[in-house]
Amino acid sequence: KAGVTQTPRYLIKTRGQQVTLSCSPISGHRSVSWYQQTPGQGLQFLFEYFSETQRNKGNFPGRFSGRQFSNSRSEMNVSTLELGDSALYLCASSLVIQGSSGANVLTFGAGSRLTVL
């Protein structure tokens, strides 16, 4: 069973540019979440999508956006890049069982490492 696939794995951008990262979830998983990981702040929640709708959003500026397609694949976009956006961006998918109140286990991809110069 294929895991969560993120592309690209590494990229370098300059300040002011924009970037789009892609995530393919595990087959059958309809929830996709994005997290930013930095040495100083650790993992911080960006947003979650379920059935093409943003269900949850973290405390990040509007430069960070995302979307989910009908096949559950997701993209996130960061516009007007700043030096502080350099980080590992992690995508995770989960199998959401309708009507269940239990916590959903996230399966993470290997991440996209963004360096902003």
Partner 1 sequence: EDQVTQSPEALRLQEGESSSLNCSYTVSGLRGLFWYRQDPGKGPEFLFTLYSAGEEKEKERLKATLTKKESFLHITAPKPEDSATYLCAAEHLNQAGTALIFGKGTTLSVSS
Residue ranges binding partner 1 (CB under 8 A): 4, 31, 33, 35, 41-45, 48, 50, 55-56, 58, 90, 92, 94, 96, 101-111
Which residue, 11 or 96, is less far from partner 1 as judged by CB? 96
Shortest distance (Å) from residue 103 CB to partner 1: 3
Which two structure tokens, joined as six digits, stand for 105?
A: 């286990």
Which residue, 18 or 51, is less far from partner 1 as judged by CB? 51
Which residue, 20 or 37, is less far from partner 1 as judged by CB? 37
Residues 85-96: b if buried by 16+ CB within 10 A, e if exposed: bebbbbbbbbee
The rounded distance, in Å, linking the Cα atoms of 41 and 50 is 26
Shortest distance (Å) from residue 14 CB to partner 1: 24
Could you tell me what percentage of the chain is helix, strand and coil, using 3-state DSSP and rounding each to the nearest 5? 5, 50, 45
